[in-house]
Amino acid sequence: MIRSFRNHLAITMLALVLLFSGCASKRPQELSAACPDIAKTGQLNVLTLNTLYDAPAAVRTKSWADITQFAVSNNVHVLLLQEALLTDVDQIQRLLGTSDSARDLQRILNERSPEPYELREAWETGVPLVLTTANAKLSRCKITRHFSTFLPIESEEAFEGIELKITRNVQVAQMNIPGYGNLHVYNMHLCAACSVEGLRQQMDALLAFVQQVEAKLQGNHVVLGGDLNLDLAKGAAEQAAYETVTRAGFRDVYAEYRRTQFGETPTPQALCWNGVPDIHCTAGVSPVQGLIDKQTGAALPRPARIDYLFLRGADSVQTSRVVFNPGNAATGPLNPDESAVSDHSGVFAQIMLGR
């Protein structure tokens, strides 16, 4: 994330360790998922969303309902989540409304969805059993393989010059789509208040991991998405980091769709340019704030486009849009009919798989 207090997660968790004691909770059994409609139509629907780990309980409960409504209405097959919350501390569960936010969302989705969603989580950072965040995948397509790896640990500025080492990861799931072969979906969350050099090192490690996986278990279709914390409007260094992804054969799904369908953006960095709020921004265009920001009176973050979906290969983009971006007091209304479910907006895409 862009905002300062979101990035000193370790400080928050240390305070919670001192304040609270916890107890373990049981995890429900996993369900078996499938997505036969993709085998018939070839259309894959993907949503990526950073879900705000310290959202107040009431905000979180409403967000689950709104995300579920969107997923059911738009036939979402795969959800990529960043900052899913895990805690075994009773008081924290009451404060934040969950012990496992991705699993609770899975439960609500499966109450509404005609097909069940499988869940895979990959621990990212925090104090185990007390408060941690994770990347998570919810998939209606059966996951046949799943694994993750940590990225290089970079220093991230937390508050007034204090720097902390925060772990980040990337997870990959393999799904077999009858008639279309293997689908590989990568989900990642890169460093926030780190240097551009640090971000570039994590990007290089991410792409090296993708190359290693694809060399051994080549996917017929490869999707990469998540919170890259990469704002192209910042300048040449950020644009160079972005270009390492495109040189690896990945296409920016949302930028490609806006260019081919509307002809409005000659370059991806023109989307959400220079902090000016518009429908392309994925941060700074929601009224939602976490508990820490509310308590400290932190300002709403500067609008930016930092969440992405990338696609490699001959598959085509049917449509893509930024969702959950209603605007806030600083930006004014952007998409007022959209719900606010996090301090991030989501990126949604419909992808037509090639045989």
Domain boundaries, the chain: 5-17+41-352
323 strand-pairing partners: 346
What are the residue ranges of helices labelled H in the chain? Answer: 9-19, 36-41, 57-73, 90-96, 101-112, 196-216, 236-247, 253-262, 291-296
Q: Residue 51 above 90 pLDDT?
A: yes
**Tell me, which fold does domain 5-17+41-352 have in CATH?**
Deoxyribonuclease I; Chain A (3.60.10)
145 has a pLDDT exceeding 70: yes
63's tokens: 């967000």
CA distance 24 to 174: 30
**Whole-angstrom distance, CA of residue 152 vs CA of residue 298:** 29
Please state, in angstroms and rounded to a whole number, the distance separating the CA atoms of residues 160 and 97: 30
What value does the mean pLDDT take over residues 34-50? 94
pLDDT beyond 80 at 266: no
Note the pLDDT tens digit of each residue in 225-250. Answer: 999 999 999 989 999 999 999 999 99
More confident residue, 275 or 148: 148
- pLDDT tens digit sequence for 72-88: 999 999 999 999 999 99
Residue 234 is classified by DSSP as G
Q: pLDDT per residue over 109-129, tens digit each? A: 999 999 999 999 999 998 888
274-294 confidence digits (pLDDT tens): 889 999 999 999 999 988 888
